[in-house]
Each structure stands twice: as C-alpha cells, then as structure tokens.
Structure 1
Amino acid sequence: MSYIFDILQVAGKTLFYIGFSAFAGAVYAPLLIGSGTNKKDVQQILIVAEKVILTGLLGVLLWFFAKTGAMAAMGLAGMIDPLMLNIMWSTAVGDAALMRVLGLLGALVLSMTYRHTTVTTQYWLIPAGVTLIMLLAASIVRIGHISDLPFGYQAVLVAHVIGVAWWLGSVPVLWRLATRNDSGHVKQIMQRFAKHAAMPVGVIVLSGATMAYTLFNSFDAVYQTRYGQLLLLKLALVGCILLIAAHHKWFLVPELKASLSRTRLTRSIGFEMLFMTAVFIITAALTTVLSP
C-alpha cells in the first residue's frame, strides 16, 4: 500500500510544480511580449495559467492527504482520518501546504484582478507576482533535504527554484506566442527571451551545483545510489533542454522568415515542454521517495 501513497505524493508534487511554473511564466509574460502588444495578449496567457494554477492547487491537496495517509499506515482511510490530519497539519508539512495553498490562491486572485482592472499598464503585475513566487519557493525549503541546512543553503535553493520556475514556466508561454503571431514578431520575442535567460540560467546551474555538492559526500555516491542515478537522469534531461534552447537561438530563430520556419520552431518548443514535464516528475520523485 505504501507505494500507492508514494505515487500519489509524486503526482501531487508534480502538479504543484507545474502550477507554480505556469504562474511564474505568466508573470514574466509582460516583459517577454514587450511594449509592442496590448494587455489582451497577457490576459489570454493568464486565462490559461489560471486553469493550470487550479490544477496545482489540487496537487497540493493530493500531496498533503497522501502524505497523511502514508504516515497513518491505515490504508486509504488514513488519508482522511481527522486525528492524523490534525497531527500532520501541525508539522512542517502542514506549514508548507498552507504556504502553497495561500500562494496559489493569491496567484489566482492576482491574475483575475489584473484581467478585470482598467489599468492599462502591464507591469504592476510583476512585483505582486514576484512576492507570491517567493512565498511558493520558500514553501519548498520548509521541508525536505535542505530544510536542516543553514540559511545560506536554503537561500541558494530558493534562488534555484525561482530560476527553474521562471525558465520552465516561460516555455509554454513561448509556444503559445509562437503559434499565434507572425514570424517577425515571434523572432523578436525569442531574441528577447534569449537575452533575459542568460543570467537566470547561470543562477540555476551554479545553485544546482552548490546543492549537489552539499548533498553528496563523494563522487561515488552520485552514481552508486538511486538518488544520484535519478539526479543524473534529471541533469541529462536539463542538458537536452539547454541543447534545444541553443538550437533555437543559433539556428531556428535566425531562420524565422516564413510560416514553415515558425512551424519548425513550435514543434521544437513542444519537445522542450515534454522534457520539462519529465524534469518535474523526476524532481517530485527525488524529493518524495528517495534521499541522498
């Protein structure tokens, strides 16, 4: 029965990661699109993001109830046992769940408020969104392997999480914009994204390397443990995403002159989204069923 709770926890975390990233990508959308378009473009992205955020909210609830069921050891009935739920709610897991629920609900309120306001400027969405993104990222360091480490390491993880959420959350936004705009506009958007991505990707790589160094005592532990092997698979997938991004920058984007070139780009972004989903699932597994 325990493996069922493991699967449910991984599924719940994966949905949360996707919802979190969807919101991060939507918050970034005004800067990505630029001043050449109107607020309606961002509104359409937010409408899609809201649906994904709702899925992420359901994922948080699934994760919390599955975590409770695993601790109760009473079968599926343990997921809704009042006593066990009360105990779990009083732990760090309950704190993290509360932070995630508040963060995602805040994301929904912010998105819907923005879509219905008469304010014409797009950029007020960003500071409010960043605040919620930081809350969601902080919920991840509230539990897990990093929670017992000093504050500096936790800050590194927060930077890593925010960078990954922004990067992977931007990919579906790029795909949507690439399928709904002419080649010239898509080329401008992709070039703008390449400029914006340089520093965050650097932060992701450096912070990820720092965390890996703190979690493993030796290089042998990386490939001799299941955690290390799964981490290597995750790194390989991230490497594939980076190669696809480089292919976009150096080959596909410069060739954007006709609809055929745009089709090739959208197909490539679609593959990037598949790798991204796999990264979310592996990350959920690493932080749920395995330990360094």
Structure 2
Amino acid sequence: MIVIVDTLFWPATLVLSKWVVYISMIVVLGSFYWQHAVGDVFTQRIVLTRRGLGYAAFAGLVAVAVHFFSQVGMLADDGLQGALSSFMIQIVWSTGAGDATCWRAAGFVLALLALCIPKQLSVAKSAEVLLHVAATAALVGAFLFTGHTADMSPIFGALLTTHVLIAVWWFGALLPMRKACRTDSVEVLLPWLVRFGEQASVLVSVLVFVGGILAYFIVGSLHNLLFTGYGWLLMAKILTFCVILLLAARHKLSLVPSMQSSRNTQQFVASLNIEIIVAAALLLVTAVLTSLVGV
C-alpha cells in the first residue's frame, strides 16, 4: 500500500497543481478581460472582488511552485527529500519546465501587482491595463516552453497561443456571466449574452479548427489515437469538449432566446453551472495530458 502511495504521489501532485494553475489563470485573466470589456455595463461588478482575485492569483503562484518541485521530485525518485535536491533542481530549471515556471510565476506576480494599484491614482486605469496585458502574455507564453509544440515550428506556437487565448476568453466568461445573471436585470443581461453567443460562434469555430490541426500533427496517425495513452486521453478531452459545445449551443439557441419572454434566468444559470463543472473536468483532463504525457 505504501509503495502504491509513493508511486502515485508525484503524478497526482503534478496533475492537481497544473489543474490549479489552469483554473487560477482562467479566473484571473478572464476576470481582467471581462471587467474591461463589459464591466461598466452592469449595475454590479461581474467579476470577483479584488480580494477574491488576489486569492486566485496567489493560489496560482503557489501551484506553480508545487508543480515545479513535483517535477523535481518525480525526476529524482527519492521521496520528498528528492524534490529539494539542489542538483535536481538545477537540472529541471535548465529545461523548458524551468522557463515555463518562471513565466507563469511572473504572470501571477504581475496580476497581483495589478490588484495592488490604488484606485484613486490618476494613472491607475492605464497601469492596470498594462499589467493585465503583461500578465496575460506571461501566462499564455509559458505554454510555448513545454510539450511537443516546443520542438515544432513557430507556426505551431502561434496556433497554440491562439487556442489558449480563446479558451481563456470563453471559460473566463463563465463565472462573470453567472454573477451577472444573479445581480443584474434581464434587460441589461440579454444584449451581452446575445453578443457573446455571436462572438463565440466564430471564436469557438477557430478554437476547434486550431485544436484539430495541433492534435493531428501531435498524434500523427489513427493508430496513435486509438492505441496509445495519449490518444485515449485526447479522445476523453474531445468528448468532454463536445459536451460543453452542446451546452453552449443550448444556451445560444434555446435558453437565451427564451429569457426574452420569460424574463427568468434560473434555467440558464442551472445549465451554466453544469457547463462550469464540465469545463473544470476538461481542464483536469488537459492537466493530465500536459503533466504526464508532455503536450
């Protein structure tokens, strides 16, 4: 039993810490974007409070550190003490994993700095935007240093960046959308939901197209898709993503139009809660892929 626990400890820690990194990144960057994009339209803040965003950014920063030392510990294969080996730390730090750790840590620190700017300063708005953009560049850019795409041509890096940015834009809207449904009137909410659905129709199509290209070149063949661990995980990710697509289609085609007559958001919020849970499951599958398979 002890051997099994020891064997699973580092892989589980790797996956869970990467999962927290993804969730924190989406919450922080999504809140930043939607605050600037539509925050002034609503009577209440549709994103987390500064304290809530600070907790999310700090959780992401801690998860980045845990993920790095988990990589060291897994490579050292010498229990907890192996994760603190200076020699192994130097080895991992000199790889793409070290670069990704540096960029992710910088991204969350920049996000925290943006949250610390006093609102009463005349340059507060401009400084916040600048730091938000820098945090986004650092957190999204970190994806380029690890996985199979790190060894591929720059065009694949551009495709991956596009894929991640659209995912952050989409999933980052879920919590603000849920909060807006609970705090604002249907009259205020509906134009945003309609516009979001129209934008999503285009951007999600790009997301699927780009993701398909990346998967095709990474998997390489139908045999690898059907008979390898990565292929099975990728199919699980695709199936989970299809569930989210069906939920999003239901929102756009049925629930949002019905709100115009019912003036009630309860059914939409219930479905949105399901989408949030499925999105979290999708991120968990992605964390397994990127942590244990190396994509």
Checking the alignment, whether the CA contact within 8 Å between 1:137 and 1:158 is kept in structure 2 is yes
Rounded Cα–Cα distance in structure 2 between residues aligned with 1:158 and 1:145: 14
Alpha-carbon displacement from aligned partner over 1:153-205 (angstroms, at most 9, x marks no partner): 11111111111122111111111111221222222221232233233212211
Separation in structure 1 between the aligned mates of residue 241 and residue 23 of structure 2, nearest angstrom: 16
Q: What TM-score does the superposition give when structure 2 sets the normalisation length? A: 0.89
Given the alignment of the two structures, is residue 54 of structure 1 paired with residue 58 of structure 2, yes or no?
yes
RMSD: 2.5
Partner of 1:29: 34
Residues 205, 127 of structure 1: alpha-carbon distance in 2 compared, 3 angstrom cutoff:
farther
Between the aligned partners of 1:43 and 1:235, the Cα distance in structure 2 is 29
Percent identity of the aligned residues?
A: 26
Number of the residue aligned with 2:281: 278
Q: Are the counterparts in 2 of residues 26 and 45 from structure 1 also a CA contact under 8 Å? A: no
Could you tell me which residue of structure 1 aligns to residue 80 of structure 2?
Answer: 76
Count of aligned pairs? 290
Unmatched segments (≥5 aa) in structure 1: none
In terms of mean alpha carbon deviation, does 178-187 or 151-160 score higher?
178-187
Greater CA drift, 25-34 or 92-101: 25-34
Deviations 1:13-38 (A, max 9, x none): 10111111112211221355354346
Residues 46-195 of structure 1: pairs in structure 2 closer than 5 A: 46-113=50-117, 116-118=119-121, 125-126=128-129, 128-195=131-198
Counterpart in the other structure of 1:16: 21
Residues 32 and 189 of structure 1 are in contact (CA less than 8 Å); yes or no, is this contact kept in structure 2? no
Q: Which residue of 1 aligns with 2:9?
A: 4
Do the aligned residues in 1 keep the contact of 2:30 with 2:172 (CA within 8 Å)?
A: yes
Q: TM-score, normalised by structure 1?
A: 0.90
Inter-partner Cα distance in structure 2 for 1:43 and 1:239: 27
2:265 aligned with 1:262, yes or no? yes
CA spacing shift, 1:80–1:88, aligned 2, 3 Å? same
* Shift of residue 258, structure 1, vs aligned partner: 8.0
Sort the Cα spacing of 1:4 and 1:27 in 2 relative to 1 into closer, same or farther, 3 A.
same
Relative to 1, partners in 2 of residues 1:143 and 1:31: Cα closer, same or farther, differing over 3 Å?
same
Q: Once the 2 structures are TM-superposed, how far is the Cα of residue 70 of structure 1 from its aligned partner? A: 0.7
Q: CA deviation at 1:239?
A: 1.2
The alpha carbon displacement at 1:282 in A equals 0.5
Aligned to 1:209: 212
- Which runs of 5 or more structure 2 residues have no equivalent in the other structure? 1-5
- Aligned partners of 2:196 and 2:122: how far apart in 1? 25
* Cα separation, 1, equivalents of 2:143 and 2:74: 20
Asked whether the equivalents of residues 147 and 154 of structure 1 are also in contact (C-alpha less than 8 Å), the reply is yes
Displacement of 1:3 in angstroms is 2.3
Contact 1:2–1:70 (Cα < 8 Å) also in 2 = no
Mapped to 1, the partners of 2:37 and 2:49 lie a distance apart of: 12
Q: Which amino acid in structure 2 is aligned with residue 134 of structure 1?
A: A
